[in-house]
Each structure stands twice: as C-alpha cells, then as structure tokens.
Amino acid sequence: MSASDDPIEAVSQRLVSFVTDQSTTWQHDGPEAAGFVRAGADALTGGKRLRARFCLAGWQAVTETRSPAEAASTPGDDVIAAAAALEIFHAAALVHDDLIDNSDTRRGRPAAHRALEAAHRAAGWAGDAEAFGRSGAILLGDLLVAWSDDLLEAGLRTAAHAAAAREVYALMRREVTVGQFLDIAEEAAFVTAPTDEHAARALRVASLKSARYSVQHPLLLGARLAGADATQASALSAFGHPLGLAFQLRDDVLGVFGDSAVTGKPSGDDLREGKRTVLVAYAREAQNDSERGAFDALLGDPTLDEEQIAGLQQIIRDTGALDRVEELITRTVTDADAALRDAPLGVEATRWLRELAHDATTRTA
C-alpha cells in the first residue's frame, strides 16, 4: 500500500459488509428494529474517514521498517477491522455530540436525533416526537459503540499484537468520553474561571476530546498492530498529538467561519451553540468588560440571525483571535512535522503522514 493507492477502499468494504450482516441479524425482529439498524447505517454515511487513514498510515509507518521477510505488503483484516471500528466509534461520538449540542444537521443531512424524530412523526406514533428522537439517539450512539467493539474484536481474533491494540483503543474511549464531559462542563463553569485561563482550559478539552482521539490514538492503533517498538510509538505520538490539536483548531475556525454549503452545517453554528473554543477564548481575552458582556449575551443564543452571526464573526476578526488561532495551527503543525525528522519510520509512510497533516489542517469541511 502506498500513498498513491486508495487505502480506504478495504475499510469501506468492511463497513458495508459489517452493516449488511447486522441488517440480516435483525431483519426478523420487526420493522422498528430494522429501522434502528438502518439509522446506524445512515450514521456511517459520508465523512473523510480521517481516523481510518491515520490508523492505516500508522501501520504502514512501522511495517515499512521491517525486513522483506517480516513485512506484509498489504494490511490484514486486523488493521482493516480496526480502522473500520474507529469510523464506527466516530459515528457514535457524532450522534451523541449532535444531541448534546442540539445540532439539527450533520454532513448536510438531519442529525440522527432529528431523523429519528421525523421517523416518529411520519409513522404517526403517540407521544412527543422530539423526546423520542433524543432518546433514540442516545441508544443509537450506544449501539454504534457496541458495533465498534464487535468489529474490533472480530479483527483481533488472530492478531499477533491484539493486547497492545486493545490497550490503545480502550484508552481512546476513556479519554474522549472524559473530554466530552469537560466540553459540556466548560460551557457551565467558564463564568467561575478567570478569563485568562479560558484558552488553556479549551486546549485541555481539545486535547482529550479531539487531538488524541482523531489522530494520535488511530496512529498508535495501527502502529501497535504492526508491532511498533517504544521508539516508533513515541515518534508517532509526538507527531499525532500536536497535529490533532491543529485539526481541532481548524474545526473550531470552520465552526464559526465555514461555508455551510461545504461543511454541511449552518454557518456560525458554534456561535449559536455557545462552544467555548480557543477561538472564543482569545476573542474574549481581547475585550474589555463591557464588550465581553455584550459578546457573551449573544454567544450561545440558538436564535441568532445571519446579521448577528456576521457581527460576532467580525468581533472575532477584529480582536485578532482568528489570527492567533491560525498562528497556533501553524505552530502545532510545525511541531508535528519536526517529530517525523529522523524518526524510525518508513519513508513512504512518512510522506503520506505529511500529506494527511496538510489535508487535515487546510480543509474547508
């Protein structure tokens, strides 16, 4: 496998095969069960497969350093299944994240809780459709987490390094869950924390909720399945964590300034949701008490119109917050790239990692 190949095709096929098996398993348990499984399949539609790509790149980075007699030319089912499991876990996180944030859309389609709400109404069922959608989405996220475990374990049945891979995966699951809680806690606790601490607190959330889970752990999962030694794992961690931060910082910028036609979510949605990102923290730092009070009065208002969104966007620009975040993205990407210099990793894979780093941090969606 090389950077010029399509490394994700086998992962996509594995996902299709897994979902088909799940659909077959539940087809005789009534239309409600079948519809629930279809909702799980819908949650896996679209996306960049970023975590799968980093998992495969981590595997290749280590495999390329093996002797021809030891190295596999293509990833086995253990790596493909692990990469696919990451994508299912990511879908679970998005379902729960959209529910927590009360987001209406995801990837240009209704968010899972809104789709379930619409299905309730279309069926003419009794009760509160919105409450049904929210309850169903909690369970759908749980189902997807279970699916991710099922697929991972299926791939690890004969894997030589299964224990090491499980350790990485379990740590990722714990960290992203704690990070998600810290994210919602930050929106509640920010009023008690000094303004000059908000950026550091937001970076802590970004590290746990996104940086490690989006890049660092997927890299290590693939690397461990290839039998990475401590030096190789350390190099990939030193690359993956700052790059993961840069990825999340880019996501924060897109959440405020992104084109809805490209991102699949309304422009300025993070402002309506009141997300306490590094971008927002920098903007608040640069304002006086009166300006900050007016800014906070609008931040988190779900009814913000386009003019109000544009006003908040301009404040963020005028305070220099956007420039500061762009500088931080550049700095963290530079730190990540430095970790690859002289690292005991494959040459072709290192080139691929740099391509992935560029794509992850210059994206528009």
298 to each of 54, 196, 271, 303, how far by Cα in Å? 38, 20, 8, 9
Is residue 261 packed enough to be buried (19+ CB in 10 Å), middle (13-18) or exposed (0-12)? exposed
pLDDT given at position 265: 82
- What value does the mean pLDDT take over residues 103-126? 95
In 132-188, which ranges are E strands? none
**In 3D, which of 84, 357, 20 has the Cα closest to residue 216?**
357
Given a cut of 90, whether residue 193 has pLDDT beyond it is no
Domain 1-45+76-159 has CATH 1.10.600.10: yes
- What value does the mean pLDDT take over residues 68-78? 78
Percent of the chain with pLDDT over 70: 97
> CATH for 161-365?
1.10.600.10
* C-alpha 332: how far from chain center: 18
pLDDT given at position 4: 36
**DSSP one-letter code for 5:** S
158 to each of 77, 89, 202, 346, how far by Cα in Å? 9, 22, 41, 25
pLDDT given at position 294: 96
Query: Are 1-45+76-159 and 161-365 equal in CATH topology?
Result: yes
pLDDT given at position 3: 38
Give the CA diameter of the chain: 68
Given a cut of 50, whether residue 13 has pLDDT beyond it is yes
Domains of the chain, residue spans: 1-45+76-159, 161-365
pLDDT given at position 189: 84
Q: What is the DSSP string of 24-92?
A: HHHTTS-HHHHHHHHHHHHHTSSS--HHHHHHHHHHHHHHTTS-TTT--SS--HHHHHHHHHHHHHHHH
Per-residue pLDDT tens digits for 287-304: 999 999 999 999 999 999
Per-residue pLDDT tens digits for 258-291: 998 888 888 899 999 999 999 999 999 999 999 9
CB 67 within 8 A of CB 2: no
Given a cut of 60, whether residue 218 has pLDDT beyond it is yes
The chain-wide mean pLDDT, for the chain, equals: 94
Per-residue pLDDT tens digits for 19-58: 999 999 999 999 999 999 999 999 999 888 999 999 999 9
pLDDT given at position 5: 54
Per-residue pLDDT tens digits for 321-357: 999 999 999 999 999 999 999 999 999 999 999 999 9
Per-residue pLDDT tens digits for 94-113: 999 999 999 999 988 999 99
